[in-house]
Structures are given as structure tokens and as C-alpha cells.
Structure 1
């Protein structure tokens, strides 16, 4: 059996959406979440975790605790039902990859579990202002008996949003809570972030694409660089609201590379995958990400 993770690591994940809703707000007509002060698109960590959970359950056949399931009559099953599927708290932790990754809080009958997940993500934020668009349409089928024509449909989308997420894998949280999180679990999570984003194919989510995923594995204990998402920029010549494609700009990585180089003696490995359509720049000049990272122990991820 694989051993519990020993190293802390940091994760930077970029993906974009085209004419889709990356994360609707259910108390505001399911509109995309936008910071009113800055015009920046916001995506909750819960949305990203759902992408990961769904992929692990549906495509990798992994046991996932926080998952929508229904009984034979089509009714949603409760948390109590899910606990009964797995048994004791120890069984849930051992069997369910999402609990090992993100922790869980349960208080059902005589079973209480409070675990802080070793993997934590902040909110995702777009690297530019966004422009919310309202779309109205029609359906061919009447909404109820007696109507002679179809009804109107409406939804809110973003023509484009390039979103960055930052996360930390905390080895101490795993060790101190006896959570058997393994490097294999982390690898599966990274795969789920990349391929799970591609597999968001509902009506509101069609149009998602992963663009860049970076894991910086530390060898220095209790140390991280921090805020990797704030060390990149999306540089472009058009107005923010006119952006429509990843090719409309370049990912400027000067500050990110400077931070990596300044911490080279504390870094064990750099692991990454980049979409072929992404253009990176270093101090304004187009660069090859492979060349930029040559000085590190590098692993190119392949999913």
C-alpha cells in the first residue's frame, strides 16, 4: 500500500470558458458570480471540487462520499444513507478518495467526523474583467397542457473567462489527522482537474477547457511560496470585455519564474501540463515553457 504523502506542494490551475456559465449563483437567478467592484469572475472551490469528485466517480470508478445518489424510487439519498454505504468513519476515510483529499464534516446520529482536508483551494478568479450576457430563447414544447406554443428560455453566460485557481497540499494535515492521503491520490486529483474540466458537458457548462496545470513539490518542510495565481498575468491588446479565446492574449509568467528560481533550493520537483494553444511570455517575449523550467527537476504530466 502506498504511504501517506511526505511533501507539501502548491497547485496552479488555469482553465477557460467560452459562452458558458462557470459557476452560477443559485440565489441570484443562477448568474455567473462576478465581483461588482472589479468585474472579475469568481468561481468557488466547491465548484472545482465537484468537478474532481464527479470525474473520479464516473470515469475512474473511485468511491466518493459527497456525491448525488438516489434510491430505487428516484429520491435523493441522505448523508445518513451515504454513511451506511461505507460503515465506520475509518472505513469512509479509507475508501473515499474525496474525504482523504478534502476532508468532511458529518454529524449523523452517533457518528461525528470533522476532518480538515489536506488539499485546500481558494476561490478561482478570472485574470481579466468579464462581460455577462443574457440570452433568451424559445422551446418548441408547451410548458403545460392547454398552451398552444412553446415557452421562453433564458440564461446568463460569459462570452469568455480565463480562470485561475491556487491550492495547497498540506502534508501536516494528513499526518496529524491520520488521513492516509497518498501521492497516487494527488495524481488522480490532478487528472480529474484536467480531464474533469473537459468533461463538463451540460447545457450551462459546455465550453470549458483546461489550459495550464502546475504542481510545485517542496522539499523544505512547512514551506510554500504562496499565491502562485497572483504571479501570472493574461496580457492582451484588446479590451477585457472583448476577449473571446485563449489566443487573444499571452500568459505572462515572469513573476512566477522569478519566484520559482528564488526558491529553487526548496523545490523538489515541478510537474505540469499545458494546452498546446496557450502562448506563454517571459518579460513580454514569447517563450517555451519547457525551456523556462529546464533548471528544475521536471515531470511533464500526461493524462
Structure 2
């Protein structure tokens, strides 16, 4: 059964952390918009890593593990160096018992056994080289409201180095804890769009099962990959719409949803009110539902998943799905 062309809109929140830091700005939040705009952003790399890490975790107990290997991941060799493209591909071939086949046709082995190659594509710069554009392409995620990041610091009780004696018999080393510094965001809600291209899915052999694993990975992968610096993250809203015509799409679905403060007397802004949790906000999907109805003859299927704690304006009963 072939993949339909479609679109995804994924909305998630992060509390007390920054999901995707900017190494060129002291690891503060990424800002693609002017400072006065106030919005912060996440790259597609961050989202795809959540999905990949989720697939890796479920592979441990899954009969589909041989089919859903992960190509792009951080693996060290015996010398502590990261594996490159060639070694990662050879590792997959080894895991699935196809070393001989891989020497003749690595592309076919990866397409058959690697979930992220089929879903996100691949640039394989090892002879023989090949490149496949992934059927699933995420855009940047932007916060749906102005966000002010804060510079914080603290201490760790452990010294960074053990005390030792130098050649003169004197003690050297740090005897006090280490001071750490970081930027953090109290709370932010992000909207990320994606497109699924049916023609590209034919080339990478992406299956409907891959598509379902992707959607589940977006939701549960966000909850899985928690870390102190990334904050406590929560999936809030996920829309997947499939089109009958592979060349049609509504486009920019994120423009049809908006976030509102429950206290309507307060105004958004860096100098005004900023939400501190989902209790402060509601998501208006009325315009989104209207545009879905407008193009209903173009739509083959539409599904919505929503976090029960999120207040949503708009009747999505016809599309709502049970959570995984």
C-alpha cells in the first residue's frame, strides 16, 4: 500500500530548559527572528533525533528491529572516536547479517533495513556514492509566543579534578565544587510543520508502517528523550492529513492555529504576560478545521492527537484519535 502525500503539524511544550541550543550564541535559545519579535526556534535536527532515539529504544524488544535499524546515531569505536557514514552503514549490514550483500549494494541494504534512511533520506558520500531525498521533510519549529530566556548559574559539589601531589610534595587540584552557568526558558510552546512526499516515498521504499512509527515516535519520542538542559517536554497536539492528489497540499498549516492566554485581559510580549504552563493557554484550531473542511474533497484521511490537559477551541471530534 503506497504512502499518500500529506502534511504534519506537531505542537509541543518545553518547561525549564531549552530543547535546541545555539552554539554560536553561548548555547542560548536559537532566535531566527529579531530580538524584539521575541520568538525562539528549534531545528528539524532536534525533532528527528527524538524520533530516532525512540525507534532505537523500541527496537530492543521489537520483532521489527531488523527492519528498523537507525543509520544516523552517535556510536564510538574502541578508540573513543565517532563512527562515520561508512562504519555506521557497515554496522547495520552486520546487525542484519548482510555484510556480503552490502559490499555489492549498500544502498539496497540500507533501504530495506534502516528506518531513518527510508523516512528522512540519506547522503552517502562513500564510494559508490548515492543521495536520496527523504519523503518526510520538517521545517523549523517556532515558539507560538514571545519567550524570554534567563541566564542562571549554580554549583556542583564535586571538584573538577582530584587533589594530587606534585614533584615538590605539595598538593595540587581543586578542592571546591565547580560553578556551572546556563540559559534556560521557563516555558515555551513550539509549532513544527512537515510535509510527506509520495513520490520520494516510492524512491526510498517508505511504508505505511514507517509512517505510523514516525507519528508515534513524534509523540512518545518527545516524552522519551528528557534531559536537564532540554527541559521537561510534552507533546500537545499532532495533526496528520493525507491527500488524494500527490501534487496537492494546503501548506503552512501552522498559520491556521494560534495560542491564546486564558486571561484575555493580559497581552503577549516580552514585557507583558508570558505563559508558565499549559494551564495559562488555549489552542485555537478553528481556522484549521475550516480549511480542512474547505478542501475535504482533496483529503483522503485526517487524524488528530491531543494532550488531555490542553484546552482546545474547535470541535475536532471527527478527527480525534486515542493516544498511544
Output the TM-score relative to the length of structure 1: 0.90
Q: Shift of the alpha carbon at 1:301?
A: 4.6
Tell me the equivalent position of 2:39. Answer: 40
Q: Shift of the alpha carbon at 1:141?
A: 1.0
Tell me the equivalent position of 1:285. Answer: none
For structure 2, the residue ranges without an aligned partner over 5 or more in a row are 61-67, 94-101, 164-172
Residue 207 of structure 2 is aligned with which of 182, 189, 194?
Answer: 182
| 1:105 paired to 2:123 | yes
Tell me the equivalent position of 2:175. Answer: 148
Which is strand-richer, 1 or 2? 1
Which 4+ runs in 1 deviate beyond 6 A? Answer: none
Give secondary structure in 2 for the equivalent of 1:271: strand
Structure 1 residues 26-35 or 164-173, which shifts more? 26-35
What pairs up with 1:71-220 in 2 under 5 angstroms? 71-85=77-91, 86=93, 87=102, 88-108=106-126, 110-144=127-161, 145=163, 146-175=173-202, 178-220=203-245
Q: Would the aligned equivalents of 2:289 and 2:316 in 1 still touch at CA under 8 Å?
A: no
Distance 2:220 2:120 in 1: 19
Q: Write the deviation string for residues 114-169 of structure 1: whole angstroms up to 9, x where unpaired.
A: 11100001100111010101110001011224222112111111111100010111
Q: Write the deviation string for residues 155-203 of structure 1: whole angstroms up to 9, x where unpaired.
A: 111111100010111101122xx22101110100011100000012212
Residue 289 of structure 2 is aligned with which of 231, 235, 257?
Answer: 257
Give secondary structure in 1 for the equivalent of 2:129: strand
Q: Shift of the alpha carbon at 1:74?
A: 3.4
Larger Rg computed on CA atoms: 2
For structure 1, the residue ranges without an aligned partner over 5 or more in a row are 283-287
Distance 1:205 1:91 in 2: 34
Q: Would the aligned equivalents of 1:269 and 1:299 in 2 still touch at CA under 8 Å?
A: no
Q: Shift of the alpha carbon at 1:247?
A: 1.8
| 1:27 paired to 2:54 | no
Give secondary structure in 2 for the equivalent of 1:226: coil
Q: Would the aligned equivalents of 1:220 and 1:266 in 2 still touch at CA under 8 Å?
A: yes
Pairwise CA RMSD? 1.6
Q: Shift of the alpha carbon at 1:50?
A: 0.8
Q: Shift of the alpha carbon at 1:106?
A: 1.6
| 1:302 paired to 2:323 | yes
Q: Would the aligned equivalents of 2:256 and 2:285 in 1 still touch at CA under 8 Å?
A: yes
What pairs up with 1:270-289 in 2 under 5 angstroms? 270-282=302-314, 288-289=315-316
Q: Shift of the alpha carbon at 1:245?
A: 0.8
Structure 1 residues 216-225 or 9-18, which shifts more? 216-225
Output the TM-score relative to the length of structure 2: 0.84
